[in-house]
Structure 1
């Protein structure tokens, strides 16, 4: 499993919840590559890896790939922080993530003054840099508000202590409708 696989899965969850989710062109390799910033060949490999491990299955009537949300939620709750750990780095300009993202503001509190951010030279917020799951995360999150919310919740699990991780995990469960 690679970090790009998680980005792809979260984008697919976002698409499945959108009003246009049943349109086959939304799941084309080209559309997913454009939406995630992952190359078409890497995207195809990621999808195959996810199918192999049971995080994605083909929908029988449409043959479209569908995320096994229950399995993904289990992995995100219990394994993401060990497989793709995160730590706070130097102060940089960036996009708020984890408990600094709009979805978690006011739900959990930071122990420090600096907010966690994904490094992005074009952003206006300053905070401690957090390496995103993959380089494509900031650009992909900027295009899709739902994806941004999911990625921020995942970062809260990756970065947070047990209480913060539980709040984020519960919110992810609600978002996944599991």
Structure 2
């Protein structure tokens, strides 16, 4: 697949991913496979100061293991009005897909809440879900992003459930069907 993006500095957010060609809605922008990366336990991450410094690039890959990913996808910033979403082929294999037409030079963004359902429950057990202060400055900015889609406001869930990963839609089919009926 031809590379359609470049990693550049983004004002106030570190690095971001930008389109170097026009991208059509529905088009796959990037693919990623973190299954071949070295895996770490939460204890190993906590005990290694070098890993703690790069935690922005840490992803949970199941069975209590984490990887550190520096692929272009790992530099895609959050936005409450994203122009792309993540589709998981399997745990560790993803596609970044455009939700609308993206113009050359535009930053490519995703909504972090759409790929965070219950992946943390097994890893952290009784700890709180992650949350972050949002700086996207979009008209629909939610100010605080929570690490569980089903804890987001109902109107957000109704508008965005179609962008959830396929495995999430299968696992939570009953909840998703209820959302779909409320539209």
TM superposition score normalised by structure 2: 0.28
**Which structure has the highest helix share of the two?**
1
TM superposition score normalised by structure 1: 0.28
